[in-house]
Amino acid sequence: MPAVSKGDGMRGLAVFISDIRNCKSKEAEIKRINKELANIRSKFKGDKALDGYSKKKYVCKLLFIFLLGHDIDFGHMEAVNLLSSNRYTEKQIGYLFISVLVNSNSELIRLINNAIKNDLASRNPTFMGLALHCIANVGSREMAEAFAGEIPKILVAGDTMDSVKQSAALCLLRLYRTSPDLVPMGDWTSRVVHLLNDQHLGVVTAATSLITTLAQKNPEEFKTSVSLAVSRLSRIVTSASTDLQDYTYYFVPAPWLSVKLLRLLQCYPPPDPAVRGRLTECLETILNKAQEPPKSKKVQHSNAKNAVLFETISLIIHHDSEPNLLVRACNQLGQFLQHRETNLRYLALESMCTLASSEFSHEAVKTHIETVINALKTERDVSVRQRAVDLLYAMCDRSNAQQIVAEMLSYLETADYSIREEIVLKVAILAEKYAVDYTWYVDTILNLIRIAGDYVSEEVWYRVIQIVINRDDVQGYAAKTVFEALQAPACHENLVKVGGYILGEFGNLIAGDPRSSPLIQFHLLHSKFHLCSVPTRALLLSTYIKFVNLFPEVKTTIQDVLRSDSQLKNADVELQQRAVEYLRLSTVASTDILATVLEEMPPFPERQSSILAKLKKKKGPDTATGLEEAKRERSAAVNGGPEPAPASAASTPSPSADLLGLGAAPPAPAGPPPSSGGLLVDVFSDSPSAVAPLAPGSEDNFARFVCKNNGVLFENQLLQIGLKSEFRQNLGRMFIFYGNKTSTQFLNFTPTLICSDDLQMNLSLQTKPVDPTVDGGAQVQQVVNIECVSDFTEAPVLNIQFRYGGTFQNVSVKLPITLNKFFQPTEMASQDFFQRWKQLSNPQQEVQNIFKAKHPMDTEITKAKIIGFGSALLEEVDPNPANFVGAGIIHTKTTQIGCLLRLEPNLQAQPPSPRARVPRPRCCSWSDPVPCVLALSWTPQ
C-alpha cells in the first residue's frame, strides 16, 4: 500500500495526529477529538460540495478516531462517495474506511456493493485489486452473496492481469472459508486447476492455496490438480536457485509454493504410477538436497529449507506407500534429533510420532530409540521432552516394551508435574498392551503407584484389579507382590486400595506361607487403615469381611475391629453402615451363606480400556495423537471412507472375548493404505445427513456391528448409546438405549432417524418418540421396528439433539442396519455350491474385492466372523482347505436373494509374515448392493 507520503501529504491529518499524541491526559485527548468531530460534522453538513482531497482527509481523520476507540456514527456516506473517485489515493482511503467500519446491516451496503461491482468491471487492475481486497477484508456473508459468482469469472478470464488473478484467488478463498455454501462449483473449477501451470509464480501460489482448501471439500472435482502440482513441484525442485529470481528465498527456490503444493498433494492418495514416479523423484531430490551442505549460514535459508523438508516428510507419511522414502525420511529426522535447534528437535520428534505408526517405517523409527531416550533425559525444553514421551509411546511394540516402560518409569521420577499424569497413563497402557508376562505387568503398575502414586488415577488401579481378576495365572503372584509392597513403612493410598482389594480376593493363595498368614495379612492392612481416606477405609472394611469368609480363624479379631466404637459409631455414614452390616453378617450368617455372599468376584466383562479413554480425553487436539487423528479424519474425508482407528487396537488383551476382539486384539498401528477398498466404501460416504457430522469413532463401531447385534454403539463424555437388536427374515426390532453419563439433566432430548429417499423406499422404520428429558445417570429406551422392503446399501442415521447445561449438543451416528442382518444361512453340498457358483459367472453378478488383512488370519476367528455375518459356513466344500465358503439368503419383503461367498486367503503371494497375508473374498449375488455390504464388513478386518 503506498503510504500517505509527504508528497500527497494530508497536513491536516498529520497535525491532528500529532496534536493527539501530544495530549497530556485522556481528557485533553477527548476534548481534541470532540473538537475535530464537530469540525468534520460542520464540513460534512452538505451545504457545499467538498473536493475529493478534503473528503479523503476527513474520512482519514474519522478512521483514526475510530481506531483510537471512539464511536463513529457518520461519514459513511462520504467514504462511499470516495469509492467512485477516479484517483487511487481517494479510492484507497474509501475502501480502507469501508473495510474497517462497514456495518453489515447498514443501508449503505447496496451502494458499496454497487461501487465494488463497478470497480470489478473496470479493466483497471489497481481498482480491481482494491475492490477484491475490500471484499476479502470484509468477508461477510453479504459480500459472499453478492460476489461469489463473479470472482471465479475474473479468476479464470484470459485477459486478467496476474496481480488481479492473485487477489481474486485469495479473495475467493476467503469467501469460501466464511461461507462455503455460497461459492458455486462450476466449470471454472477445471480452469482454476490449470492456473497451476501459470507463468507467474505468484498466481500459482495463490491458486494452490485456493485449490487446497477447495479440494479438501470436493476432492473429485480437483483430482486433475495432482498431476499438475507434481509437475510444477518437479520444475521447482529441479530448477537452479537462480532460475526463479524473485521467488528464490535465500537460495531456496520458491519455498512457500513448494510447501503449499506438498500440502495440496496431501489431500489425495498417492497418484497413479506414472505421476507417482515423478513425485517420488521430486521427494527424493528434496531429501537429497537436505543432505547437501547449506548454501548460506543465514537462519532464513535453513528455515526455508527445513520447512519444505518437513512438509515433504509429512507427505511421505501421508502416502505411506513407499518404504524406501519412509525410511529415508526417518533417517533424515533421526539427524534432526540431535540438531542444535530446539525447534527442529521438536518437529523431528513430532513427525516421527506419525512415522512410527506406519508399518514400513516403524522398524526404522525404532532404531532411534536410544537417541529419543537420551532426549528424554537431557533435553532442557519441557515441550520437547513431552514429544519424546509421545514418540516413545508411539514406537513401542512387543519387542521393546520392557525397555521403554522401564525408561518411562525412571523418567517419571524427575518428570515435570504437568505431564506426570499423562506419562502414568501411558505407562499403564503400554504395560497392559504389551504384557507377555502378566507378572511383569503387575510389577510395573505397583512400581508406578510407588513412584507417582498421586498421579495414578482411579482408572489405572481399577484396571489392574480387572486384569488380575480376569487372569488366574497372576492372582497368586499379584497377592504376593502386593503383600510385599504393603510392608513398606509408607505406601501410597492407591497401593493400599489395590492391596486391600487383591488380598481380599486372593489372600488365601498366599496364606499358606507362615510369613503371610491370615492374621499377618490382616494386621498389615489394618496398620494402614487409620491413615487412609474414607473411601479407602470403606474398601478395607469390605476386605475384612472377605477375610472372614476366607479365613474363619481371624473372624473374632475382625469382629472386634468392626465392633469398636471408631467403626460402629463412625461419623461417616458409609463407614458406619458397612461396619454395622458386616458385623451383623459375620455373626448371623452361616458359613454357606457367607461363602455365597462373599464369593470371589466374577471376571469383568471385556471392554475398551477406560485408561485409554482417559488418555484421549486428557490430550488436547494439539498433541501428536490428536494431530494423527485429525489427519486421519482429513484423509478419511478425502477418501470418502472410514479407516479404523489404530487406537482401538489397544482395547482388549483377550482375543477370545468376542468378535470385536478380532478387530482389536493385535497391535496394528497402521491404518490400511488409503486407497485400498476406498472406492467400494464410497457408497457409504454419501451420508444422507446434513444435520451434524458423524461422531468420530462411530464409523468404527458401525463396522463392528455388521457382524454383531448388541453392544455399545456410541459413547462420549455425556452420552452412551447402546443397542440390542433381533432380526427374523425381513423383520427386525432394535432397542436403542440412551444413557446419560452426567449428573445433569438433558433437556429437549430428541432422537430422530434420518433416511435418504432411496433408503426410505427400501427400508421402513417405525419409532415412538422418547421422553424429552433424561435425568442425570438415567437411561431411556426407544424401540425401532424395522422392515426390509427391498435391498439397500445405505444405513439410516440416528441424529440426537439435546440441551446439556445450556449448550446445545448434536450427535449423529449411523445406525447399524445393514442388509446382512436379513441374511439367513443355507446349507449346501459342495456340488451344489459350485454348480451355482459357475452359473453366476456373469460379471454383473459377481463382485470381487481384494484387500489386505491387517492381522493374521486365524481360522477359527474367520469362521466365527463369517457366521456372524449371517451366512452359513460350508465346511469341506472348497477343495482348497484354506478357503472359506459361505451361502445364505437375503430376505426382503419383495424378494429373496440367494447369495454365495468365498474367501480365499492368499498365503503364498508374499513371505509368510503375518502382516502381509492377502485373503481374497469372492462373493456374488443377483443384486449389486450386497457386495458393498460385504466389502464393508470385511475391510476393517
- What is the Cα–Cα distance from 367 to 326, expressed in whole angstroms? 14
Instruction: Select from 221, 154, 224, 158 the least CA-distant residue to 189.
Output: 221
Of 35 and 87, the one with the shorter C-beta distance to other proteins is: 35
Pure H helices in 320-360: 323-336, 342-356
Locate 185 and state its grid cell: 462449483
Q: Are strands 252-253 and 248-249 parallel, antiparallel or unpaired?
A: antiparallel
Q: Does 831 bind other proteins (CB under 8 A)?
A: no
Residues with Cβ < 8 Å from 731, sequence gap 6 or more? 785, 786, 787, 788
Q: Does 32 bind other proteins (CB under 8 A)?
A: yes
Pick the piece of the chain touching other proteins (CB under 8 A) from 66-74, 118-126, 132-140, 883-891.
Answer: 66-74
Measured from the CB of residue 315, what is the shortest distance to other proteins in angstroms? 46
Measured from the CB of residue 24, what is the shortest distance to other proteins in angstroms? 6
Q: Does 15 bind other proteins (CB under 8 A)?
A: no
Site for other proteins in 74-93 (CB under 8 A): 74, 76
Of 71 and 246, the one with the shorter C-beta distance to other proteins is: 71
Locate 739 and state its grid cell: 444413557
Q: Is 4 left (phi over 0), alpha (psi -120 to 50) or beta?
A: beta
Measured from the CB of residue 105, what is the shortest distance to other proteins in angstroms? 10
By CB under 8 A, the count of residues binding other proteins is 22
Q: Does 70 bind other proteins (CB under 8 A)?
A: no
Pick the piece of the chain touching other proteins (CB under 8 A) from 100-108, 268-276, 686-694, 874-882.
Answer: 100-108
Of 24 and 838, the one with the shorter C-beta distance to other proteins is: 24
Pick the piece of the chain touching other proteins (CB under 8 A) from 18-26, 337-345, 367-375, 774-782.
Answer: 18-26
CB atoms within 10 A of CB 324: 11
Q: Does 103 bind other proteins (CB under 8 A)?
A: yes
Could you tell me how far CA 25 lies from the centroid of its own chain? 53
**Cβ atoms 644, 496 nearer than 8 A:** no
**Cβ atoms 247, 253 nearer than 8 A:** yes
Choose which of 18, 25, 743, 831 interacts with other proteins (CB under 8 A).
25
Measured from the CB of residue 78, what is the shortest distance to other proteins in angstroms? 11
Pure H helices in 103-200: 109-121, 125-138, 141-147, 150-156, 162-178, 188-193
Of 46 and 806, the one with the shorter C-beta distance to other proteins is: 46
3-class secondary structure for 64-91?
A: HHHHCCCCCCCCHHHHHHHHCCCCHHHH
Measured from the CB of residue 73, what is the shortest distance to other proteins in angstroms? 4
Of 22 and 587, the one with the shorter C-beta distance to other proteins is: 22
Of 71 and 565, the one with the shorter C-beta distance to other proteins is: 71
- What is the Cα–Cα distance from 105 to 100, expressed in whole angstroms? 14
- What is the Cα–Cα distance from 451 to 448, expressed in whole angstroms? 5
Site string for other proteins, 36-65 (x = CB under 8 A): -xxx-xx-xx--------------------
Pick the piece of the chain touching other proteins (CB under 8 A) from 26-34, 151-159, 555-563, 796-804.
Answer: 26-34
Angle, helices 458-470/493-506, rounded to nearest 10 degrees = 20
Rg, C-alpha atoms of the chain: 35
State the Cα angle at 495 between 492 and 498, rounded to 5°: 155
Give SS3 for 749.
Answer: strand
Angle, helices 225-238/201-217, rounded to nearest 10 degrees = 140
Q: Does 194 bind other proteins (CB under 8 A)?
A: no
Locate 642 and state its grid cell: 472410514
Q: Does 73 bind other proteins (CB under 8 A)?
A: yes
Q: Does 31 bind other proteins (CB under 8 A)?
A: yes
Measured from the CB of residue 100, what is the shortest distance to other proteins in angstroms? 16
Residue with cell 495463490: 206
Pick the piece of the chain touching other proteins (CB under 8 A) from 34-42, 222-230, 310-318, 605-613.
Answer: 34-42
Q: Are strands 779-788 and 719-728 parallel, antiparallel or unpaired?
A: unpaired
Pick the piece of the chain touching other proteins (CB under 8 A) from 68-76, 350-358, 560-568, 644-652.
Answer: 68-76
Of 105 and 414, the one with the shorter C-beta distance to other proteins is: 105
Measured from the CB of residue 138, what is the shortest distance to other proteins in angstroms? 17
Locate 573 and state its grid cell: 455414614
Pick the piece of the chain touching other proteins (CB under 8 A) from 23-31, 396-404, 645-653, 695-703.
Answer: 23-31
Of 5 and 25, the one with the shorter C-beta distance to other proteins is: 25
Pick the piece of the chain touching other proteins (CB under 8 A) from 20-28, 223-231, 427-435, 797-805.
Answer: 20-28
Q: Does 11 bind other proteins (CB under 8 A)?
A: no
Q: Does 106 bind other proteins (CB under 8 A)?
A: yes
Of 110 and 123, the one with the shorter C-beta distance to other proteins is: 110
Measured from the CB of residue 44, what is the shortest distance to other proteins in angstroms? 6
Per DSSP, what are the bridge partners of residue 900? 887, 924
Choose which of 26, 340, 530, 768 interacts with other proteins (CB under 8 A).
26
Pick the piece of the chain touching other proteins (CB under 8 A) from 31-39, 512-520, 663-671, 743-751.
Answer: 31-39
Measured from the CB of residue 41, what is the shortest distance to other proteins in angstroms? 4
Site for other proteins in 726-755 (CB under 8 A): none
Q: 3 exposed, middle or buried (CB, 10 Å; 0-12, 13-18, 19+)?
A: exposed
Measured from the CB of residue 45, what is the shortest distance to other proteins in angstroms? 4
Residues with Cβ < 8 Å from 352, sequence gap 6 or more? 330, 333, 337, 365, 368, 372, 391, 394, 395
Residues with Cβ < 8 Å from 400, sequence gap 6 or more? 366, 369
**Cβ atoms 826, 836 nearer than 8 A:** no
Of 29 and 443, the one with the shorter C-beta distance to other proteins is: 29
Measured from the CB of residue 82, what is the shortest distance to other proteins in angstroms? 17
- What is the Cα–Cα distance from 226 to 266, expressed in whole angstroms? 10
Structural element, H or E, at residue 567? helix 565-568
Choose which of 22, 34, 338, 844 interacts with other proteins (CB under 8 A).
34
Q: Does 121 bind other proteins (CB under 8 A)?
A: no
Of 48 and 530, the one with the shorter C-beta distance to other proteins is: 48
Measured from the CB of residue 108, what is the shortest distance to other proteins in angstroms? 8
Pick the piece of the chain touching other proteins (CB under 8 A) from 35-43, 135-143, 632-640, 826-834.
Answer: 35-43
Measured from the CB of residue 62, what is the shortest distance to other proteins in angstroms? 12
- What is the Cα–Cα distance from 469 to 480, expressed in whole angstroms? 14
Of 38 and 761, the one with the shorter C-beta distance to other proteins is: 38
Longest Cα–Cα distance in the chain: 111
Of 79 and 645, the one with the shorter C-beta distance to other proteins is: 79
Alpha carbon separation from 70 to 13, 60, 63, 65, 776 (Å, rounded): 17, 14, 10, 6, 48
Of 49 and 436, the one with the shorter C-beta distance to other proteins is: 49
Measured from the CB of residue 323, what is the shortest distance to other proteins in angstroms? 58
Pick the piece of the chain touching other proteins (CB under 8 A) from 21-29, 442-450, 744-752, 906-914.
Answer: 21-29
- What is the Cα–Cα distance from 204 to 591, expressed in whole angstroms? 85
Site string for other proteins, 504-543 (x = CB under 8 A): ----------------------------------------
Residues with Cβ < 8 Å from 259, sequence gap 6 or more? 307, 308, 311
Instruction: Select from 434, 428, 438, 431 the least CA-distant residue to 611.
Output: 428
Instruction: Select from 323, 315, 313, 389 the least CA-distant residue to 358.
Output: 323
Tell whether the torsion through CA atoms of 269, 270, 272 and 274 is positive or negative.
positive
Question: In the complex, which residues of this chain contact other proteins (CB under 8 A)?
Answer: 24-26, 31-32, 34-35, 37-39, 41-42, 44-45, 71, 73-74, 76, 103, 106-108
